[in-house]
Amino acid sequence: MKTPVNSMIFTTALLCLAVSCDYVRDMFPNGKSELTFLSTTSLQKNKGDTLLFTGNDIKWINGTTGEIRFVDSTFIPKIKPFFRLKCFLGPDSLFIATVTTPVMSSIVNDLVLNLDIKDGRFYFKDGYPEWINNPGITGIRIQNKAKRAFAWNRFLVELKKEGRYKE
């Protein structure tokens, strides 16, 4: 037989649990991210892939400028030695970005994660160097951007869902 005291204790415990869940959710609004970024120092596919960071390590990405800001600023030197980043949403591969720095002498006509020497921050861009104004190269970059548009959109939707996207 239930006593009123037991019912009241149970109800109070349930209420405290519900309030504490809301408190934890408010403290960690982004939750666990499904985004993962693997990196490699090799040109060969899947050779030496290493988990570099997850979506939880991203503070935000600016959709207008392409800037990616990390929760911990020590990620910038950790990314520089790598050649490529592979982005996954759960098990799905979304895109590959070539890591570029201001000392590179090569041209990349697809997605890059570029370290800007002026401010020391990383930016997603459609090619490197960004300032090239050649119709052939510009056309290739536009085609490559169109090819990854669906995957890039999935990436942005996930960032928005996780509260890691800003304009």
Look up residue 66 and give its amino acid: G
Spell out, as residue ranges, where the chain has pLDDT lower than 50. 1, 8, 10-30
pLDDT at residue 83 in the model = 87
| pTM of this structure | 0.76
Each domain of the chain, given as residue ranges in start order, spans 1-29, 31-166
Contact call for residues 144 and 124 (beta carbons, < 8 A): no
DSSP SS3 for 153: helix
Task: Quote the CA–CA distance of 13 and 21 in Å, as a whole number.
Answer: 12
Structure token pair of residue 105? 């002498």
Vertex 45, ends 38 and 108: CA angle to 5°? 80
pLDDT score, position 68: 95
Could you report the per-residue pLDDT of 108-119, keeping only the tens digit for each? 999 999 998 888
d(CA 110, CA 144): 6
Q: Where are the alpha helices (DSSP H) in the chain?
A: 4-27, 75-79, 135-147, 149-162
